[in-house]
Structure 1
Amino acid sequence: MIAGVLLTLDLIQVAEKARLRIIIVGAGLSGIATAISAALSGHTVEVIEQAKELAEVGAGLQITPNASRLLKYWQLPSSLWEAAAEPTKLTVHRYSGEVLAHDGAFDKSIRAKYDAPFVDLHRVDLQQALFARAKDLGVTFHLGEKIERIDFDSTTVYSVAGKRFAGDLIVAADGLWSKCREAFVGKKDEPIPTGDLAYRIVLNTEQITDPDLKSLVQNPEVHFWIGPGAHSVGYSLRGGQMYNIVLLVPDNLPPGVSKQAGSVDEMRELFVGWDPILNKFLTYVENVDKWKLMHHGEMEKWVNDKSNLVFIGDACHPMLPYLAQGANSSLEDGAVLGLLLGHMTKKTQLPRILRLYESLRKSRGEAIVRETFKQRHDFHMHDGEEQQKRDEIFLSQLGKELNGAFPSRWTCPEVQPWLYGYDAIKEVEKAVLENPDLFSQTSKGRQSFCTIL
């Protein structure tokens, strides 16, 4: 017993020597997820965010099992799950309303396959729950600090206000318009338009007077409407008290404009002739914004040569929303990075750990990006021969167990398991076992120590 206690104390002393001071740039989902995972691994974490407050803005998020299991693992409050809506069904409609695909037991099949739920959340609810958990773990947040420059020689971030934040590692979690990315490549690196834009809409049940629509909202399901050059998705939020609609259409915003107030009449005109149910929802929209959908080309690497800068989330793999994996893969990134850092026993391991993180995450992140473009193609077909062949595949399996490649990756038996079956925790455990020269056999990861102690 004494020997065991001495061994544990010895490991903790080694862990203390390996404790990093981590500076995370960006308090979005990827940044706060990394903060939680790194703090659980015993590191000191500071987060820099240019917004003055984490305000209640945003719309819905579809949290798939690959990420919902992480939220459970991080022990987010029960209030988050109470604010969730778990869809019982998932339906794909042709834009006119005809059902092309339908899973009438979606919630049950997802839980049975992946031992974790598919839930729809308001972005604010998730961000606030992550924020509260990070603060409970001792993470320090510096809000209202816009980044001016980064000194990689001293691992220091300087803000426009003149403050400096120095550490051992900088995590670039500052999204699509990443200043860290510009510092890394040494030039302006603006995102590229995809040719699409999004109208994002959130309706409250109080706004909806139609009893059929209200029932649809209060009994959560996911509905897709797919059509020529566009598609729409609708799902419930906050236990069926709100309805989130995203309309994805050709981009007509001026060059250089990423967001603009939209015309409700123009928006409705785009969906004339579409399913009456979708159009009934649109009659309740009073105002709307247009968001240009943008992306970046693949980065050659996610870690700099000095091994003191690492990229996560939209800063390195921004995703179109067509598979709802932008938030989910960002949470995966944060979990993997933090868990790997929990196995450090000396700081000299950091360069190899960061490159292991890159090898675990880069290929998957970029593969998901490519898959979103494939989903866009299959959902946006114009009427014609290709669309007819697609619909034949849909209808040939309607009401049957799906087999082989399927035009909707949301239930595709090939793509869905690859997306939803990913377990970041197990992936790290496997990587540690496969790299015995990097991780000593006595290192169990500091997140384990946090649980034990």
Structure 2
Amino acid sequence: MSAESSKSGPPLKTSHPVTFLIIGGGIAGLSTALALRRVGHHVLVLERKNRDAARGSGGIRLPPNLTKILFHWGLKPALMQRALVTHTMLFIRYESGEDLGEHVWDKGMLKETRGIYMLCTHDDLYDLLYEAAQSSGARIRYGANVVNIDAEAQEVTLESGEKISGDVLVGADGEFGLSRSTVIGQDAFGTPTGLALYDTIISTAHVTKHANASTWKDHGIFTAFGNGRAIVAYPVHGTDNLAMQFYGPDSNEGKYGDEPSVDMPTVTAQLCDHFQPLMKLARKAVRVSIRDHGDLDEWISDDGPLVLIGEAAHPFPPGTIQATAMAVEDGAVLARMFSHLSEDRQIDSFLYAFQELRQPRTRSVRAGEFGNIFYMTLEDGEDSRQRDKSMRAMAAKGTNVLEGLNGDVSRLWDEIRTIFGYDCEDEADDWWMQWGMLRERALERNSMNAGTTLGTPLLDFSSMMSSVQVSDVTHEA
């Protein structure tokens, strides 16, 4: 098998197509729509914004656990046209510009993952998924603002007064969306962390004048560690642009979807002089407040078949590598579960199976993403000095600086392998083979031997799922 996933062939098709109503037409909504259409279900996506606004902006890092899914779905050629393959990460000190070393991704490790580490922009990935979802037969409506969700009636109401129903409602409208508040019964805005992400784009024509151009030509990811601040930057749009994500103090509220409003020089005054000219050339940035949302015990409404996915279920820190990946994994797993649907009675069981599989994965990876942000933005002190000292020592040996670090991050390398190597569709298939088929056979036997209805729950699903092992990881790069 090649370094990239070569899984091919048509997916298993459901014998009982139902209608999925997806609330939210972002990356999570579109990827789920595509995945469900691939297995034969009917899909309608409702997005309150127009398409241009929904496409978004800024950069996205695509880890191997995400790219392998897109490859499985036959999207490799389209992705290779829009995204860059990256192999290298470079690290410096934010205030001084001191070189802390570099990390080159191990080819053997990437081969094991069956994916590629890639870089692109939100709008490029959005367009790819939109085109694929539409071509697959998914219906996508823009300007369709959902103002009420009735899970019991399996119905939503649009701002226009129109009512639309479906067999399964999927909430993909984000951490502040109506779906999340409907499931938990109240608005939940999370706890401020004191940090915000400032997301912007810079032309690489300016980069070559003010920085080491070879960094961007080699498709490297540039990371600067600072005192309560950090920068992650990488080339996009065929190296014509540089995506820059700055982490720093949060002085105002902000979220994705807001208009760009922040002049970068106003928030990067402490950046080393070498890079200051770049900040003056950056586009206005979108400010996204980083908030810590508690884990939800339930992603499924008590009133009916409404399930949360993506940021609506598990809000990730903005700009982190796995935020987008987890949303696409959600869609892939949900569709894989429902490829086995043969009767309406299975819908609830499949939704709870989805929740039980996805919660451990997203919780552990999300915790790691928060850890990465705080690791990059450590305030000056013993911990940051030890971090930098360890990286300098590794660089002096000519070794990748992410290997062999001291303290909690000493496990980082093995955990990266685990996160990148995870195949969510395989996990869903394993669930079906171990538990789904077992439950169906038990129901059939009970129906024949005891004369009970097929809807009678014979097995404690939650106890079965407790033995399913999902890797508990806490860090990734």
When normalised by structure 1's length, the TM-score is 0.86
1:438 is paired with a residue whose SS is helix
Amino acid paired to 1:437: L
Match of 2:361 among 357, 360, 364: 364
1:111-142: CA deviations, max 9, x gaps?
A: 33322100001111111110111111110111
Within 5 Å, give how 1:182-197 maps onto structure 2. Answer: 182-197=181-196
In the other structure, the counterpart of 1:36 is 34
In the other structure, the counterpart of 2:433 is 433
CA distance in 2, matches of 1:139, 1:109: 38
1:279-326: CA deviations, max 9, x gaps?
A: 343242253332222342111111123450111100011111464111
Within 5 Å, give how 1:372-411 maps onto structure 2. Answer: 372-398=369-395, 399-400=398-399, 403=403
Q: What is the CA distance between 1:438 and its match in structure 2?
A: 3.3
1:269 is paired with a residue whose SS is coil
Q: What is the CA distance between 1:183 and its match in structure 2?
A: 1.6
List gaps (5 residues or longer) in structure 2.
1-11, 443-477
1:201-250: CA deviations, max 9, x gaps?
A: 21223444518544433331001101111110110112212111111001
Amino acid paired to 2:368: E
- The change in CA–CA distance for 1:227 and 1:65 in structure 2 (over 3 A counts) is same
Q: What is the CA distance between 1:404 and its match in structure 2?
A: 5.3
Q: What is the CA distance between 1:405 and its match in structure 2?
A: 5.9
1:240 is paired with a residue whose SS is coil
* 1:303 correspondence with 2:300: yes
Amino acid paired to 1:82: Q
In the other structure, the counterpart of 1:152 is 151
Contact 1:201 1:288 in 2 (8 A): yes
Amino acid paired to 1:297: G
- The change in CA–CA distance for 1:260 and 1:33 in structure 2 (over 3 A counts) is closer
- The change in CA–CA distance for 1:256 and 1:432 in structure 2 (over 3 A counts) is closer
Contact 1:375 1:408 in 2 (8 A): no
In the other structure, the counterpart of 2:415 is 415
CA distance in 2, matches of 1:82, 1:107: 24
Contact 1:52 1:143 in 2 (8 A): yes
Q: What is the CA distance between 1:84 and its match in structure 2?
A: 0.9
In the other structure, the counterpart of 1:346 is 343
CA distance in 1, matches of 2:253, 2:173: 24
CA distance in 1, matches of 2:236, 2:409: 22
CA distance in 1, matches of 2:280, 2:52: 31
Q: What is the CA distance between 1:99 and its match in structure 2?
A: 3.1
- The change in CA–CA distance for 1:348 and 1:129 in structure 2 (over 3 A counts) is same
1:78 is paired with a residue whose SS is helix
In the other structure, the counterpart of 2:261 is 261
Amino acid paired to 2:362: G
Contact 2:265 2:276 in 1 (8 A): no
Amino acid paired to 2:383: E
In the other structure, the counterpart of 1:293 is 290
- The change in CA–CA distance for 1:306 and 1:438 in structure 2 (over 3 A counts) is farther
- The change in CA–CA distance for 1:191 and 1:310 in structure 2 (over 3 A counts) is same
1:223 is paired with a residue whose SS is strand
Question: After alignment, is 39-48 or 320-329 more displaced?
Answer: 320-329
Identity of aligned residues (%): 24
Amino acid paired to 1:343: H
In the other structure, the counterpart of 2:92 is 93
In the other structure, the counterpart of 2:127 is 128
Contact 2:183 2:302 in 1 (8 A): no
CA distance in 1, matches of 2:244, 2:304: 42
CA distance in 2, matches of 1:392, 1:407: 13
Contact 1:204 1:241 in 2 (8 A): yes
Contact 1:66 1:423 in 2 (8 A): yes
2:416 is paired with a residue whose SS is helix
CA distance in 1, matches of 2:52, 2:260: 21
2:45 is paired with a residue whose SS is strand
Q: What is the CA distance between 1:30 and its match in structure 2?
A: 0.8
- The change in CA–CA distance for 1:39 and 1:440 in structure 2 (over 3 A counts) is farther
- The change in CA–CA distance for 1:94 and 1:214 in structure 2 (over 3 A counts) is closer
Q: What is the CA distance between 1:146 and its match in structure 2?
A: 0.9
Q: What is the CA distance between 1:420 and its match in structure 2?
A: 0.8
In the other structure, the counterpart of 2:240 is 241
Amino acid paired to 2:312: A
1:303-351: CA deviations, max 9, x gaps?
A: 1234501111000111114641110110111100111110112221111
In the other structure, the counterpart of 2:445 is none
1:325 is paired with a residue whose SS is helix
Q: What is the CA distance between 1:195 and its match in structure 2?
A: 1.3
Q: What is the CA distance between 1:256 and its match in structure 2?
A: 10
1:262 is paired with a residue whose SS is coil
- The change in CA–CA distance for 1:249 and 1:204 in structure 2 (over 3 A counts) is same
Q: What is the CA distance between 1:64 and its match in structure 2?
A: 0.2
Amino acid paired to 2:327: S
CA distance in 1, matches of 2:74, 2:315: 27
Q: What is the CA distance between 1:432 and its match in structure 2?
A: 1.3
In the other structure, the counterpart of 1:3 is none
2:148 is paired with a residue whose SS is strand
